[in-house]
Structure 1
């Protein structure tokens, strides 16, 4: 009986603070290369490009949705569409992306900023919308 109670306690604590995020990515060039999604949970991981989670999604529509389960914390969502299918984000000599990109908390104007400016706090089930833009 004690083992069952311990198991239930551990299971509850593992899943109690997880939330379902419906990430909607729009302004996609339909059937023009995969969509790369990276989720970062710290300034350090973002700076080093070491995502907590990452996904490769199909561009079979102008808008796609992805359900993601995350515990409460700050996150930065980074998305790009790999138009030429070379599995990386192409940039010009100044480091400006040549392919459509989207970031959480970024309106597409000016320099995006770092983790602290772009992060979103997850503490409930919610929908996050990211619009891809060519900069």
Structure 2
């Protein structure tokens, strides 16, 4: 009986770990042109929240390092994600744009690129995370 209960407990522990799998993403950002300000990233999980600062799934920032900067993002469950990154060179915690809405600061996305008339869509930037992953993104 004890042996049976132990096997049942072990089975539930294994299943719960599979269901609640958490992964890490090593994010390497290159093309940083100066050490001024910070590199900021935002992770989105769906199209309706994409590029909305009040609907970010996870975000972070770190001191800009000329050349490249790296982030280790942890506790990400299996799923589809899109990432937006910008170099907040003046440290005002905003992506500065000109009068036409064109970014004045360097930006990048997990896959898609800026278009002539605006940013890429969520589906152009989305990637699937189901294990630990490393991603390299170049600022534009």
Give the length in aligned residue pairs: 130
TM-score normalized with structure 1 length = 0.81
Q: Which of 25, 42, 46 in structure 2 is aligned with 1:42?
A: 46
Contact 2:38 2:61 survives alignment (8 Å): yes
Larger C-alpha radius of gyration, 1 or 2?
2
Could you tell me which residue of structure 2 aligns to residue 62 of structure 1? 67
Question: Is 2:124 aligned against 1:123?
Answer: no
Could you tell me which residue of structure 1 aligns to residue 81 of structure 2? 75
Quote the Cα distance in structure 2 between the aligned partners of 1:48 and 1:107: 17
Unaligned 5+ segments in structure 2 are none
Unaligned 5+ segments in structure 1 are none
Task: Give secondary structure in 1 for the equivalent of 2:103.
Answer: coil
Moved more, 43-52 or 115-124: 43-52
TM-score normalized with structure 2 length = 0.78
Q: Which of 71, 89, 98 in structure 1 is aligned with 2:95?
A: 89
Specify whether residues 108 and 131 from structure 1 end up closer, same or farther in structure 2 by C-alpha distance, changes over 3 A only. farther
Contact 1:29 1:59 survives alignment (8 Å): no
